[in-house]
Amino acid sequence: MIANTLADTPAEPSIASLSRRGFLGAAVAAAAGTVLLPRRGWARQPSASTTWFEWKKLTQNVYLAAGEGGNVIAIVGKGELILVDAKNPGYGAALRREAEALGFGPVRTLINTHHHGDHVGGNNAFTKDCVVIAHANAKPRFAAQEKRLQDGGKNAIGQVGKSTKAGKEALIKDLEAYVAAAPKAADFEPTKTIASSEKLEIAGVKIELTYVGNGHTDNDLIVYLPDENLVHGGDVLFNTFWPYVDRPGGFSSEGWAKTAEKIIEIAGEKTIVVPGHGAVGDRAIAQTQRQFWIAMRAKAQAAVKAGETRDQFLKRPWDEYKDYAAADWIKPITLGGVYDEAAGAPIS
């Protein structure tokens, strides 16, 4: 979330409560509270009293960091760490510090699942000495969000200052340094891009990056670790949250459903599935997300055909999604976006 926002469109609201700011707290609780864990020990799991992020061990070699943006995983390689995503603007230094405190070595590689600020806002803490990988379509989007990335750090200082969590003093220093540095778009840009799907081996870790096409954005990467039987879906997967629609960023309801379907193909019954937001679980998350977009696309098309107005579409009761979080601010963006897509409205 840029300036504690979820995406990068001009109309995006800021998160200050679930009702916005609460989106962060709910995401932390969900991701930390119902994690699907293997029957293994919890060696090296950091204490919540000494870390800012909520860290959980998912497999022998993968750790989850929840809070302050999208779900991040740290992958243990031979003498080094690989991260997937980098949190909100200004939090990169703290993320790197806590990840390296796990004791498995320095972070050498960062993978971005897509360009939104709650996933790349910490990139600047890694780009100078790490390989930062993203889809080729992500790179040109950084210039347009430079100010949002800068302002995100300013907004975070006030939010962190209100917290009673241990370690906030160190984090405020990080954020103040971030603001003083006024990082440019180039400080966040990936140093390596891929144009399609690719299989990598980094520090002995096999990583499969899959690109399906436009979905949540035009640069979504699915990250699969075959040896860990774990997949990170980025924001293709919102687990029991209203999914954020970013039409200027490449949204396609049909493509989103297809990308979720690809995750279903990749994931077996015992595969651990990490969503961009919400609790970690299994491939049922992807099945639910796929069905959401199939149903929502059909409903929006039918509404347009029947002459239902955008406002009428937004004011439907939507009882089938009554338990979805962030309804107060993401819900109208979701519904408005899919209606506009169906109506062929211009993308602003």
Q: CA distances (Å), 143 to each of 115, 183, 187, 250, 275, in order?
A: 11, 11, 10, 16, 26
**Does 4 fall in a domain?**
no
Among the listed residues 113, 116, 112, 117, the one whose alpha carbon sits nearest the alpha carbon of residue 150: 117
Instruction: Look at the chain and report how many structural domains it folds into.
Output: 1
Strands (E), 162-242: 192-194, 198-202, 205-210, 222-225, 230-232
**Does 165 fall in a domain?**
yes
Distance from C-alpha of 299 to C-alpha of 278, rounded to nearest angstrom: 25
**Does 228 fall in a domain?**
yes
**Does 16 fall in a domain?**
no
Domain that holds residue 265: 21-343
3-state DSSP assignment of residue 134: strand
The count of C-alpha atoms lying within 13 angstroms of the C-alpha of 285, restricted to the half-sphere facing its C-beta, is 33
**Does 14 fall in a domain?**
no
**Does 5 fall in a domain?**
no
104 pLDDT exceeds 90?
A: yes
Q: What is the CATH number of the domain that holds 221?
A: 3.60.15.10
Among the listed residues 72, 66, 70, the one whose alpha carbon sits nearest the alpha carbon of residue 48: 66
**Does 206 fall in a domain?**
yes
Q: pLDDT band at 176, cuts 50/70/90?
A: very high
Q: What pTM was estimated for this model as a whole?
A: 0.90
The count of C-alpha atoms lying within 13 angstroms of the C-alpha of 287, restricted to the half-sphere facing its C-beta, is 8
Instruction: Give per-residue pLDDT as tens, 30-77.
Output: 444 444 433 333 345 666 567 999 999 999 999 999 999 999 999 999
Instruction: Give per-residue pLDDT as tens, 265-286.
Output: 999 999 999 999 999 999 999 9
**Does 61 fall in a domain?**
yes
Cross-strand bridge partners of residue 57: 63
